[in-house]
Amino acid sequence: MSISRRGFLGGTGVVAGVAAGSATARAGGGMDRFMGYPDAMGLLHDTTLCVGCRSCEVACAKVNGKPKPAGPLHDKSIFGKMRRVTDKLYTVVNRYVKARGNKPAVYRKHQCMHCQEPCCASVCFVKAFTKTPEGPVLYDPSVCVGCRYCVNVCPYYALGYEYENAFNPTVQRCTMCYERIKKGDQPGCAEACPMGAIVYGKREDLLRLARQRIAKFPDRYVDQIFGEHEYGGTSWLTLAGVSFDKLGLPVNASHKPLPELTSGFLSVVPLVITIYPGLLLGFYAWTKRKERLADQAREAAAAEARAAAEEAGAAKAAHQKKLAESRQKKAVDLAVKKALAQADREREAAKAAAAEEETP
């Protein structure tokens, strides 16, 4: 069966349309690194100063209109279980190391880290997330379809989703108090922290500040600013006196941004679109060619057989004819001979009869 030209062109046209439509992200082979927007803001959380008072949770709930966090603030029994960020609790303080003797307990505040190259922004298929030049990663609920791919991939488990909202569920997460910082205020948690364990400022300045602190007090801090490079870096930087894996953070995280893993693959997609048609048409042509050759061979064989059969038939017919002719001839000769013999006999008989009549 043959392909109609119209069908073929139609198909190719659609394919080209898809190719143009599915433009992919950055070039897969690029060696550049996004160093962050200059003048972007960030926050520095010094866990050696955190006493687990949870004033930040209260302030965050107040600023964002969420229900008050559980329990009286001085009741430390709430730290018996690890709590997670939810759609109603944008930030949460957990106790990671219990107090022992003279050594105080170690707490850490957890929330969206506002990564420099956020996974959530990379995986959103309606581009609902934006990394703003001011630093925060913002979410646009008006386009969100609710696929929750972002919630699924966040390496810090920092997103919540409104599962209880039936008609307009959206993703809920720390916004770094974007409205407030645009006005020049501090994020609610930074303002509320009584110990100054959360410092708000330009990310560059905070990095310098963190390095100063580590240099001044090398016994107090682990020599790592978490968020400087991990997974491409975050706007929320953390200092600690214990190893970060004890604080629930991936201490040996790669410095490579995670979205690069997807963009590397997606760069192959246009190759499929461009190579497959030619390749598959090639297969198809190959198949067709094989079929055609097979048909041709079959036909040739059939013709040969027919010719051979005809020849054989003609020869046979001629042979039969000759045979018949000779048989006929023989029969005729025989009949003639017989007739002649008969005639002779009759002649002889007549002659004898005539001779008898002549004598008295």
From residue 235 to residue 264, the character string flagging contacts with another protein as x (rule: CB under 8 A) and all else as - is: ---------------x--x----xx-xxxx
Amino acid at 248: G
What lies within 8 Å, CB to CB, of 108 at 6+ separation is: 45, 47, 50, 93, 94, 96, 238, 240, 247, 248
Which CB, 272 or 352, lies closer to another protein?
A: 272
Which CB, 26 or 178, lies closer to another protein?
A: 26
Q: In this chain, which of 201, 229, 246, 251 binds another protein, going by CB under 8 A?
A: 201
Q: Does 180 sit near another protein (CB under 8 A)?
A: no
Q: In this chain, which of 59, 61, 199, 249 binds another protein, going by CB under 8 A?
A: 199
CB-CB neighbours of 206 under 10 Å: 24
Q: Does 345 sit near another protein (CB under 8 A)?
A: no
* Residues between 323 and 342 with contacts to another protein, criterion CB under 8 A: none
Q: Does 315 sit near another protein (CB under 8 A)?
A: no
Which CB, 143 or 336, lies closer to another protein?
A: 143
Amino acid at 27: A
Q: What is the CA radius of gyration of the chain?
A: 49
Q: In this chain, which of 206, 237, 239, 240 binds another protein, going by CB under 8 A?
A: 206
Q: In this chain, which of 78, 132, 155, 228 binds another protein, going by CB under 8 A?
A: 155
Q: Which residue has tokens 């143009």? A: 20
- Angstrom CA distances, 51 to 99, 185, 210, 220, 227, stand at 11, 24, 19, 15, 21
Q: Does 223 sit near another protein (CB under 8 A)?
A: no
Q: Are the CB atoms for 49 and 197 separated by under 8 Å?
A: yes
Q: What is the rounded (10 degree) CA torsion for 177, 182, 184, 188?
A: -10
Tokens standing for residue 43: 């926050």
Using CB under 8 A, which of the segments 12-20, 232-240, 299-307, 347-355 binds another protein? 12-20
Using CB under 8 A, which of the segments 30-38, 160-168, 304-312, 325-333 binds another protein? 160-168
What lies within 8 Å, CB to CB, of 90 at 6+ separation is: 60, 61, 64, 66, 111, 112, 160, 172, 173, 174, 175
Q: Does 281 sit near another protein (CB under 8 A)?
A: yes
* Residues between 13 and 42 with contacts to another protein, criterion CB under 8 A: 14-15, 18, 21-25
Q: In this chain, which of 202, 228, 229, 251 binds another protein, going by CB under 8 A?
A: 202
* Residues between 109 and 128 with contacts to another protein, criterion CB under 8 A: 119, 121-128
- Min CB(5)–another protein separation in Å: 9
Which CB, 152 or 328, lies closer to another protein?
A: 152
What lies within 8 Å, CB to CB, of 266 at 6+ separation is: 24, 25, 28
Which CB, 169 or 178, lies closer to another protein?
A: 169
Closest by Cα among 72, 47, 79 to 193: 47
Q: Does 222 sit near another protein (CB under 8 A)?
A: no
Q: Does 297 sit near another protein (CB under 8 A)?
A: no
Tokens standing for residue 242: 């214990």
Which burial class, exposed, middle or buried, applies to 198 when counting CB atoms under 10 A from its CB (0-12, 13-18, 19+)? buried
Which CB, 125 or 183, lies closer to another protein?
A: 125
Using CB under 8 A, which of the segments 48-56, 312-320, 339-347, 348-356 binds another protein? 48-56
CA distance 125 to 316: 81
- Min CB(210)–another protein separation in Å: 9
User: How many residues line the site for another protein (CB under 8 A)?
Assistant: 107
CA distance 129 to 177: 15
Q: In this chain, which of 265, 320, 338, 352 binds another protein, going by CB under 8 A?
A: 265
Q: In this chain, which of 71, 165, 295, 312 binds another protein, going by CB under 8 A?
A: 165
What lies within 8 Å, CB to CB, of 358 at 6+ separation is: none
